[in-house]
Each structure stands twice: as structure tokens, then as C-alpha cells.
């Protein structure tokens, strides 16, 4: 298995873990609101990462990684809100919260690496002071 498929599998497991968590949220107005927001944000990174692997260019790949990071950060905020409101506090929830935090950290590094690779080096460009006469 490749590192990319390992990460995709990890994102799928994260999405599934979120699905299990939201099924345990209270059926209150706030519980339903968080459920809807978290379901969307936590299940999209796996699909976006799969799309990134088939990116049409390095720029497209980097863009899809940024989308993953954006959705993971949003998911982490919703999970922190669940924790702050004491809606879920068990060990399964804590593991999901930890995984969200680790995935955000992993994608921060991945996005930085992708952006660094995306930028052309000066040796690949014409010098900005070159006169084309």
C-alpha cells in the first residue's frame, strides 16, 4: 500500500468515526446543527484527497490539499464545540478529537511542502531585470 492510500484510508476512517459520533449527539436544536455541519466538513477530506491524487497539475494537487486542510480545521472547531458543550466526553470521542488535531497538523505540513514545490525556482525563470531587446 502506498503512503497516499494509507492517508486516504485514514481520512475515510476519520469520516466514519465522525459519523458514529454524530449519531450519538442529542436531538436538540444545537445537536442537529452541529451534526449537519460536522457531517459535511468531516466527510469531504477523504474525497478531496482522492481528487488531489488525480490532480491535473501540481497546482491542482496543492489546491485540493488546501481544501482538505480547510475542512479538517472546520471539523476540529466543531469537535471542540462538542467538547466545550459537554455533548460527548467519552474515550471514543476523545480519540476522534485527537485524530482531527493530528490530521490538521499533517495537512499543514503537506500544504507547505506542496506550495514549496509549486513555486518555480529563479533558475527556471528569466531574471526580472533581463532586457529582451
pLDDT band at 1 (very low <50, low <70, confident <90, very high): low
Mean pLDDT of 5-28: 97
CATH numbers and ranges of domains, the chain:
3-118 (1.20.1440.60)
Residue 112's alpha-carbon distances to 15, 69, 71, 96, 121, in angstroms, are 24, 11, 16, 24, 16
% of the chain residues with pLDDT over 70? 87
Torsion of CA 48, 76, 42, 103, to 10 degrees: 50
pLDDT of residue 120: 60
- Measured distance CA(63)–CA(81) in Å, rounded: 27
Higher pLDDT, 81 or 55: 81
pTM of the entire predicted model: 0.85
| Largest interatomic CA distance in the chain | 72
Mean pLDDT for all residues in the chain? 90
Amino acid at each position: 500500500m502506498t503512503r497516499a492510500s494509507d492517508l486516504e484510508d485514514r481520512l475515510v476512517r476519520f469520516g466514519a468515526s465522525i459519523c458514529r459520533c454524530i449519531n450519538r449527539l442529542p436531538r436538540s436544536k444545537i445537536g442537529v446543527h452541529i451534526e449537519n455541519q460536522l457531517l459535511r466538513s468531516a466527510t469531504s477530506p477523504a474525497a478531496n484527497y482522492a481528487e488531489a491524487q488525480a490532480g491535473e497539475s501540481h497546482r491542482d494537487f496543492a489546491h485540493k490539499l488546501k481544501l482538505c486542510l480547510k475542512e479538517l480545521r472546520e471539523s476540529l472547531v466543531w469537535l471542540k464545540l462538542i467538547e466545550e458543550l459537554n455533548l460527548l466526553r467519552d474515550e471514543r470521542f476523545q480519540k476522534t478529537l485527537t485524530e482531527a488535531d493530528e490530521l490538521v497538523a499533517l495537512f499543514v505540513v503537506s500544504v507547505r511542502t506542496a506550495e514549496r514545490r509549486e513555486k518555480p525556482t529563479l533558475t527556471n525563470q528569466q531574471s526580472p531585470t533581463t532586457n529582451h531587446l
